[in-house]
Structures are given as structure tokens and as C-alpha cells.
Structure 1
């Protein structure tokens, strides 16, 4: 695929990502095991431990990149997102969208 100037781009450049209106909408759990539905974790692993830093950031990356608004509200927690944001590496477009909507995330990073 390429743009009007013939420069290559990927699906992630044009994909519509979900972003909540407010971080206060993110009221997901803070602890425990989360099992993602197949439509979010289509590539394999579905179970994540929120009390494990690696698991939590992996889960959040998946939800940020693949989730719909209701998934964000149900699975993400504002405090955990803000705490882990500097260590998360979501798709560049996702990071840009979220940091534009929520400058406090950019300042946390």
C-alpha cells in the first residue's frame, strides 16, 4: 500500500483506534487474572496477570491496539495505565492518539 505520493504505509497508519473521551472512563480491575476474548487476543495468549508488570503491559498493549471503547472501559484501569505508560510500547499511532487526547500521559513518559 502507498499514499498519494507513493510512500509506503501500513494498515496501522489508517486503522481507526478506540480512545475514550476521558481517562476516568477506565475503571477496569487493578489486580487478578484477566482472560481476553479471542477477538482481542487472536494471535495466541489470552490470560494475563495484572499483578505482574510484564503481563500487565502486554495486556494493555493488546487492548490499546485491538480493543473497542467498551473493552477499554472494562479492561483498562486509569491508575495502572498512567503508571505503566512510560514503559508501554503500543503502536506509534496509538501512542500519538492517546497522548494528543491526554497530555498527562505524555508528561508521564
Structure 2
């Protein structure tokens, strides 16, 4: 077996996760119930209450991992993201990309 045959492909390592140029782009809601489109919440649940910690973390995880730049702007809020970053559990590649772009998030965690 050659080294190439033994290597495992990990799509998460090469996937083009969206990251904004500036956190000020994130002007999404702070309170209330959000209904995500099927394109983002394709696995089932689509409705999330931003005032509930579990729901908020679930919504942010979905949008961080599945969303494009427009989705980030529409559904994420910069203040909520900063405040709750330590509690969010996106894929490690997503976390690394966001913390590389915004080192202040790393220090919050």
C-alpha cells in the first residue's frame, strides 16, 4: 500500500466554510424565534428560540457550519457571537478559521 492509498480524505479540512471580513457584518436578531431555510437546516429541525441557550447554540452551530456569507449576516449577531463563543461547538475547522480571522474570539473562549 502506498502512502497515498493509506491517507484518509477529510472533507471538513478542505470545505470552504464562510467567514465574514468583519464582525460588524453580523446584524442578525438578538431575541425571538428564528426559522432557518431548508438549505441550512436540511437535517430536520428548523425553528430555534434565541432566548434559549440550547436553541441559540444549535442555531449558531448550523449557520456557522452550513451558511454562506449572506446567511451569516442574516442570522448571526456579532454581540451574541462574542458573548456566547465559548459555549458554541462548531466543527474544529470552523472554530479555527473564525479564531484566525478574529483573534478576540479565541481570547473569549
What interval of TM-score do these two structures reach, taking the shorter chain for normalisation? over 0.9
Residue 84 (structure 2) pairs with residue 77 (structure 1) = no
The Cα of 1:4 is off from its aligned counterpart by 4.8
Tell me the equivalent position of 1:10.
10
The Cα of 1:5 is off from its aligned counterpart by 7.8
Tell me, which stretches of 5 or more residues in structure 2 are unaligned?
Answer: none
**Count of aligned pairs:** 107
- Two-structure CA RMSD over aligned residues (Å): 1.4
Separation in structure 1 between the aligned mates of residue 15 and residue 4 of structure 2, nearest angstrom: 17
Tell me the equivalent position of 2:32.
32
Separation in structure 1 between the aligned mates of residue 81 and residue 5 of structure 2, nearest angstrom: 37
Tell me, which stretches of 5 or more residues in structure 1 are unaligned?
Answer: none
Q: Which runs of 4+ in 1 moved over 3 A?
A: 3-6
Separation in structure 2 between the aligned mates of residue 38 and residue 51 of structure 1, nearest angstrom: 22
Distance change in 2, residues 1:6/1:79 (3 Å):
same
TM-score (norm 2): 0.94
Residue 55 (structure 2) pairs with residue 59 (structure 1) = no
The Cα of 1:55 is off from its aligned counterpart by 0.2
Separation in structure 1 between the aligned mates of residue 30 and residue 7 of structure 2, nearest angstrom: 42
Separation in structure 2 between the aligned mates of residue 22 and residue 46 of structure 1, nearest angstrom: 27
